[in-house]
Chains A and B, each alone.
Chain A
Amino acid sequence: MALLEIKNLHARVAAAGGRDILKGVNLTIDAGEVHAIMGKNGGGKSTLAQVLAGREAYQVTQGTITYNGHDLQELSAEERAREGIFLAFQYPVEIPGVSTSYFLKAAVNAIRKHRNQPELDSFEFLKMVKDKMQLLKMDQSFMNRAVNEGFSGGEKKRNEIFQMAVCNPKLALMDETDSGLDIDALKVVANGASSLRGPDRAIMLVTHYQRLLDYIQPDYVHVMLDGRIVKTGDKNLALELEARGYDWVEDEAA
């Protein structure tokens, strides 16, 4: 059974009551796989990631999402997180007054409690996160800073991947993690994410650019246009998109 199976998914912004942004997405992701979702702005890539993470601003109007045997729509955002879904935010949120260490410990313990594992105390927690900080080249002082407050764009993205490493998800959703990064920051973030590849974990990454895929080579590349996946290929498709743009895919799909 696939880890994630999306069938004919339609979704829209709940408040606006407008038309669907996702217009029949079909996607199957197995454990161990890396899927890249590419496409023009406004095609629904980020919406798909948000819907999977359980953001209530979006309303599913049709279709099904099955994750690890669950009907995903039955689960709240926090339940999804506890069941192993992790969203690396495109725009990570600043939380003044809450330290990264407290924030992450609360997250880890919420997940552990759900899995009937004993909660970690501060000492055990710090031991657990130590080598993960090295992986993302993060300074010790980082844990004492308020979550994302005053962080540079690169620091925020590194923090997302660091959290991903700590939360140890089954399904990692990376929403334009590469946007706004210079080449050095991109390397750190991409290598960190790449090292989290494993047979028990699936990664879905949403990106505009091929350059991230030099570091995390995808098993599948999907092109999303106007709310649907219109083309699927392997990593060579990303190279072709980089060279030729999206118009030819659009023409093909039409």
Chain B
Amino acid sequence: MTQLAEDRQTGIAHSKGIHLANFSRHFATGEKQSAVVAHPWLDDLRKRSIARFDSVGFPTTKQEDWRQTNVNAIAKTPFKLAGKPKDGSAIEHARCFGFADEAACELVFVNGRYEPQLSRLGKLLRGLKVVSLASAMPTPQATEIRDHLGKYADINANPFVALNSGFIDDGAFIRVPRGIHMEAPIHLLFISTADGGEPTVSHPRVLVVAEDNTEFSFVESYIGASGGEGAGAYFTNAVTELVIGENCAVDHCKVQHETDDAYHVGTMQVRIGRSSTFVSHSASLGAKLARNDLNVIFAGEFAEATLNGIVLLDGTRHCDNHTLLDHALPNCPSHELYKHVLKGKSTGVFRGKILVRPDAQKTDSKQTSKSLLLSDDAYMNSQPALEIYADDVKCTHGSTTGPVDEEMVFYLRSRGVGAEAARHLLTYAFAADITRRIRISPVRRLLEDYMAQQAGLPQDLRITDLGHHDEASR
């Protein structure tokens, strides 16, 4: 064994050990550090999960799903479980990134732990539950949680899911009861603080159960509150499970804006029931290294999914989006559009897998990946992965990567718009093509402002200035 390989092995073993030690300290010592009161089934889930993580360890680039994303930096860092923040910066971030009264309710988590003082529960409709996982666990709902938690996100499929599941503690539990229609979104705001101390990790867990005939939207925001330069690394390892009944319409957004030193790994597992629609918009704005896995399983006929994403990268940042559309049953359409804007020496990865199983006749799936390279040193890796085992299906995919179109730039310049302003406007318009489809207005506005600022455009530039977008919402 070479010295390097040996170092790497011991390094990983060492850091895996850190997480195992964290686990022992947190759950096994009998001290009630955990926010969750003991439930045998939960103890069992955790133990199985951490054992799984122990046996497989962190993934390496030799594994197909991780070929383009090296998580060695995560594996090497001795992360301790995040505790209470030292300063009050989280409070300010809760205010900046909160939706105020535009949300039906807002749960705020700081370093993975629910903060009732920063949260706003509002007046919830009868039967609707939006609670912290830790607080729901000792109650009769625990059986309902037991029936779903860990049943969708597979600890054997992804080591990070195993790691998260080993640490299931706090997070959010949402149950939308049969027949409920909500206008305003439910907001789950996860704030992480890095305050220059030791690197820390949190494992937020979200479970959303949508009963039949429901219509609602929910937003997950993962925001880093850095204490400035050198504030240090932290790691968010999130897992969300969403199970949707029949005849539902669920609109989802994920906003990831961690700090420049942060690592973010998030897995979302979705199961869509018959005749239901699921729309997801993912915005990746931050983190040194980010990896999103979004797995959607069609569990009923006539279910429909739309997965859109916008990724803005600069510096040496790396972001990897893996999506899976698992067409197991017939007559399910799916649409997918991911856009990347890359500057500096950043790298983007998009791997969109569409699996059409033998029974999934009449599948209609369209996947598009478009990337804008604003620097010669940026690199985009976009790969569709279509596996089709049915014969009567329509699956298309397309991928384009390139710089700003100079024909468009010249057209704008020939009308008097300066070259730089033209490039900024075209960059903004490229990204706005995703955000204009978002129907959850506080998210759309937040992203508009951020993108305008990034593109050097006036803050008051609204996507709505760029025309009608109703017809683009699909």
Contacts and interface: CB of A to CB of B under 8 A. Distances in A.
Nearest to A99: B467
Interface stretch (B250-258, B288-296, B405-413): B405-413
Interface in A91-116: 92-93, 95-104, 106-108, 110-111, 114
B425 A106 contact: yes
B429 A77 contact: no
Contacts of B425: 98, 106
Contacts of B411: 89, 92-93, 95, 147
Nearest to A166: B415
Interface in A51-73: 53-55
Q: Which of B407, B408, B467, B468 has the most CB of A within 10 A?
A: B467
Contacts of A76: 413, 419
A231 interface: no
Contacts of B416: 78, 81-82, 107-108, 110-111, 114, 167
Interface residues of A, number: 37
B432 interface: yes
B426 interface: yes
A81 B414 CA distance: 6
A54 B412 CA distance: 12
A5 to B, nearest CB: 21
Interface in A123-180: 143-147, 163, 167
A101 B467 contact: yes
A81 B417 CA distance: 8
Interface string B109-144: 000000000000000000000000000000000000
Contact of A87 (B414, B418, B436): B414
B413 A145 contact: no
Interface in B392-438: 407-408, 410-419, 421, 425-426, 429-430, 432-433, 436
B465 interface: yes
B466 interface: yes
Contacts of A82: 416
Q: Which of A53, A77, A106, A144 has the most CB of B within 10 A?
A: A77
Given A102-B467, A110-B418, A144-B467, A97 B413 contact: no
Given A78-B417, A81-B415, A96 B465 contact: no
B414 A102 contact: no
Nearest to B419: A78
B469 to A, nearest CB: 9
B465 A99 contact: yes
Contacts of B429: 95-98
A54 B416 CA distance: 12
Across chains A and B, which 6 residue pairs bring their CB atoms closest together, nearest first? A99-B467, A97-B429, A107-B415, A81-B416, A110-B416, A93-B411
25 contacts: A54-B413, A54-B414, A76-B413, A77-B414, A77-B419, A78-B417, A78-B418, A81-B413, A86-B414, A89-B411, A92-B411, A96-B429, A97-B429, A97-B466, A98-B429, A98-B467, A102-B465, A102-B466, A102-B467, A106-B417, A107-B412, A107-B416, A110-B418, A144-B467, A167-B416
Interface of A: 53-55, 76-78, 81-82, 86-87, 89, 92-93, 95-104, 106-108, 110-111, 114, 122, 143-147, 163, 167
Interface of B: 407-408, 410-419, 421, 425-426, 429-430, 432-433, 436, 465-468
